[in-house]
Amino acid sequence: MKIQIRPVIVAALCAMLLSGCVQYDSKRGVEVKWQSVITEQLQKGTSTRGEVLALLGPPSQIISLDEETVLYYLFERTKGNGYILILYNRFTVDARYDRAVFFFDDNDILRDYSTHIHEPEDK
């Protein structure tokens, strides 16, 4: 039985050409502006919903509850890399979410807020 070398070489070259590495970076949501420099300007019990909107812009989501309104800000950063081969694919994904939640009473006065920001990664 004689194996022809050329088809094997062609198949190996095609396999190498169809494989590759992937790297991506994705950012979605409201830009992070609720750092302590901004939130220090807000006072629970006196700041209004209009002041928060003026400082931070439109939220990702507005939630209406019985006696209060919630402004929810979300920013998502996703980074990943991977390998695409014919029979084997591997991806690594790191998703980080920065959030801020502001609670207002029925008079649109800031009742409470909470924020969480991931520290930037060292490169």
Mean pLDDT of the chain, nearest integer: 83
**75, 76, 71, 84: which is closest to 110 by C-alpha?**
71
Cα distances from 71 to residues 39, 49, 52, 118, in angstroms, run: 14, 9, 9, 20
Confidence of residue 16 (pLDDT cuts 50, 70, 90): low
- The pLDDT of residue 120 is 64
Percent of the chain's residues with pLDDT above 90: 33
Beta bridge pairs of residue 90: 83
Most confident of 29-33, 34-38, 108-112: 108-112
- Distance, CA of 12 to CA of 51 (rounded, Å): 63
For residue range 53-81, what is the model confidence (pLDDT) as tens digits? 998 889 999 999 888 999 999 988 888 98
Fold assignment, 20-116: Beta-lactamase Inhibitory Protein; Chain:B, domain 1 (3.30.1450)
Residue 87 in 3-state DSSP? Answer: coil
Is 50 exceeded by the pLDDT of residue 123?
no
**106, 114, 111, 100: which is closest to 47 by C-alpha?**
111
Residue 70, H or E segment:
strand 68-84
The whole model's pTM is what?
Answer: 0.69
